[in-house]
Structure 1
Amino acid sequence: MPNFTYDGFLTAASNAGLLGEFSQADLDTARKYPEFGYSILGLKQDIHKATTPEAKLLANEAANQLRSSYGGYTGGKYGADYISDGKIPNQIDSVLDKINGFGSFTFDQERPSYENQYAEQQQALLDAIINRPDFSWSKEDDPQWHSYRKSYLREGDRATADALGQA
C-alpha cells in the first residue's frame, strides 16, 4: 500500500500545475486524509483532460461524491463552491438566521405607517413626463438638417462626377 502524505499531495498538485484550483476545504480535507488529496487531484486532472462537457460533468460529479464522503461537502456545479449539508455557509446562513430570528407575525397587529420623503419629487418628475409638450420638428429650424443636406448633395455630385469620369 502506498504511503500517502499531505506534503506528497502538495508536491504532486504543484507539479501538475493544479494546486491553485483547490478550495480551502479541499486542502483541509487533504491534510486530514492525504488519500483524498491524491484522489481529488486525479479527478481534477480528468476534468482538464475531458473533451466533452458531459465528461467534465461526470468527473466533477465524481469529485463531489468524493468530497461528500470524506468531508460532508460538495464543490457545486464547477467545483469552486463549498456547500455543506445542502447549505452554503458564511453570508447566506447568517442572513437566514437573521430572517428566522424576527419572530412570529400576525395580521391582527396595526400596520406600520410609512411616509415617503421623496413623494413630492417623484410626483413632480412624473408630472413633467406626463405633461411634456408635444413633439414638433421643422427642417427649416434644424441646423443639423441643413448640414446633412449640404453633405449629401456634395457627395451625390462627387459620385456622379466619378461615374461620368470612369465612363
Structure 2
Amino acid sequence: MPAIVERPAQRYVAERATVTIPEFPRIADRLPPLIGTLAARGVALAGAPFFRYRVLHPGMRFTVEAGVPVDGGFEPEDPVFTGELPAGRYVLDTYVGAPDGLAAATASVLEWGAAEGIEWDRTAGPDGEEWGCRLEVLRSNPREVPDPAQWVTDLLFRIAG
C-alpha cells in the first residue's frame, strides 16, 4: 500500500530525452556510462539511480531524465546536466518485478491517490502533462540481481502544495 513520505531536496546529474516506450532503452542505457563517468571523476553517488518523468506527451511519449543523486559540486559536460529533485511530500509505493509491469503499478498508485483525494504536483502544459517530480527509483542493480522479476523500484510522486 502506498505511503506519504517527506523528502529533502536532492542534487543530481542526468541526461534527458523524449522517447516512446519502445525507445525507452535509448535513455535507460545512459545510466551506466553516467555512473561510470562519476566514478572516474571521484564523485560519490548519494542514492540510487532514477528516471524522472518531466512531461507525459500525447501518444505515449515521455520526456524523461536518467539521473543519479550526487553530493557536492560536479560540473558535467553536455548532454549531461545538473538538477535538483524538489523537497516535499511524496506518495511512495514499491514495485517488485520486471519493467513491463511498471505501467500497471503506476496506474494503481494514481488510482489510489485519486481515491484518497490527493492532488499531484502536475499541470497541463503546451506539450502535455508536466510533472513537478515523478520518479522511478531503481533499487536493484541488474548486475547483482539478474532476474528482472526480482527487481525493486520505488515509485515516488510529489504531492501538490
Normalising by structure 2, what TM-score? 0.22
Look at both structures and tell me which one has the larger radius of gyration over its CA atoms. Answer: 1
| Higher helix proportion (structure 1 or 2) | 1
- Structure possessing the higher relative contact order (Cα contacts under 8 Å, 6 or more residues apart): 2
